[in-house]
Amino acid sequence: MRLGLIEGDGIGPEIVDATRRVVDEALSVVSADPVRWVPLPLGHKAIAEHGVPVPDFTLDQLEELPGWVMGPHDSASYPAQVRGKAPGAIIRKRFDLFANIRPARAFRGVRAVTPGMDLVIVRENSEGLYGDRNMYAGAGEFMPTPDVAMSVGVVTRTACERIAHMACRLAKDRRKRVTVVHKANVLTLTTGLFLNVCREVAQHYPDVAVDDEHVDAMAAHLVRRGDTFDVVVTENLFGDILSDLAGELSGSLGLAASLNCSENRAMAQAAHGAAPDIAGHNRANPTALMLSAAMLLRWLAEHGHGASLGLAAKRIEHSISETFAAGVATADLGGRASTSEFTERVLAQLRRL
């Protein structure tokens, strides 16, 4: 199998290399065929080689691949003359990666605000209030005068239906409960449409219980009783905010895995940023990207690319869990392990399996 490998910026090269090693080891453990990695430029490296952060070469190569692992990007530091839409947004829009699946799980051995948390936030990823992806041409943000800034929020029935189906299918394999998060008491037309369509879709899944919460109340509920939720489905901006909150409540954003997917492609990308202040210091936590890669392997298995990929995903998750349980963690989790030391311990756990 050919999968893309995009290092990105900041800590990207460190955590992407660690993730590649863990995936290769997990596949060898289950006697699966190895991945043929396809390295592709993006970010500062691409600017140096091609003059732009996201070269056409990279996009053309991704067209030929079912999935890829992408490190974080640091678009705020790009030269002004090439700064535009963030690389992640360009790729998500190009390949219609309409779903952003973000689990938040507390691990044994990791100090967490909510030790029992084990939920998944299913975030609609293609529209909403995000100006970089909700218009066919131009930007969803604009300024009619220097003193007035406006933003267009887009909510369509089609996008609501497909994300609701994905959330309900995911819930069927978990604890069979979906919570729809909205703000229909104020944004009655836009998030009201989202809520109503999710309810309509849920009628096709009689074994899945569905309730709903206003987004402000949901933030409080996550803090108070985050361990009581199963699958949460919401629009783009709300999903972005709530998933970061859930990630911190479960331990750290360094644990926050994320999968962006359509019906035929998937991109593993950790929810955190490029952390340029610690780049190159061997201090980054690679867990989020490793878990994202495991999600990618499971997605590939579910889409007909080989059942052994799902087994490899399970073993990656188990090995990370056992590493934490043994008291090994990086600095963001209160531990002392470097990036490379943590990676070696995960690899050792994989070999024991």
Residue 33: band (very low, low, confident or very high) from pLDDT cuts 50, 70, 90:
confident
Q: Are 254 and 332 spatial neighbours (Cβ–Cβ below 8 Å)?
A: yes
> CB-based burial of residue 45 (10 Å sphere; 0-12 exposed, 13-18 middle, 19+ buried)?
middle
User: 164 with 198: CB under 8 angstroms?
Assistant: yes
Does pLDDT of 181 surpass 90?
Answer: yes
Edge-to-edge, what's the strand order for the sheet holding 67-70?
Answer: 36-39, 2-6, 67-70, 266-268, 259-261, 99-105, 118-124, 231-234, 177-182, 209-214
Strands (E), 71-172: 99-105, 118-124, 141-145, 148-151
What does the pLDDT average to over 97-122?
Answer: 96
Q: What is the C-alpha to C-alpha distance for residues 244 and 265, in angstroms, rounded to an integer?
A: 24
Would you state the pLDDT for residue 95? 96
19: Cα within 13 Å, side-chain hemisphere: 35
Whether the per-residue pLDDT at 297 is higher than 80: the answer is yes
pLDDT digits (tens, 9 = 90+) for 60-74: 999 999 999 999 999
Per-residue pLDDT, 212: 98
* 9-17 mean pLDDT: 98
Give the residue among 179, 175, 270 at the shortest CA–CA distance from 218.
179
Q: Exposed, middle or buried by CB within 10 Å (0-12, 13-18, 19+), for 254?
A: buried
Band (130; pLDDT cuts 50, 70, 90):
confident
What gap in Å lies between CA 188 and CA 326, rounded to an integer? 49
pLDDT score at 83: 86
Q: Where are the alpha helices (DSSP H) in 84-175?
A: 87-94, 157-172
Q: Give the number of other CB atoms < 10 A from CB of residue 327.
A: 11
Task: Please determine, for residue 207, whether its predicted confidence score (pLDDT) is greater than 80.
Answer: yes
pTM comes to: 0.95
Instruction: Quickly state the pLDDT bin for 129 (edges 50, 70, 90).
Output: confident
What structural domains and CATH numbers belong to the chain? 1-95+264-353 (3.40.718.10), 113-120+129-249 (3.40.718.10)
pLDDT at 134 over 90: no
Residues with a catalytic annotation lie at 136, 183, 216, 240, 244
What is the mean pLDDT of the segment spanning 282-290?
A: 98
Other Cβ atoms closer than 10 A to 351 = 11
Q: Which residues contact 307 (CB under 8 A, 6 or more apart)?
A: 301
Question: What is the band of 339 on the pLDDT scale with cuts at 50, 70, 90?
Answer: very high
Structure-block tokens of residue 252: 């750290």
With 80 as the cut, is the pLDDT of residue 131 above it? no
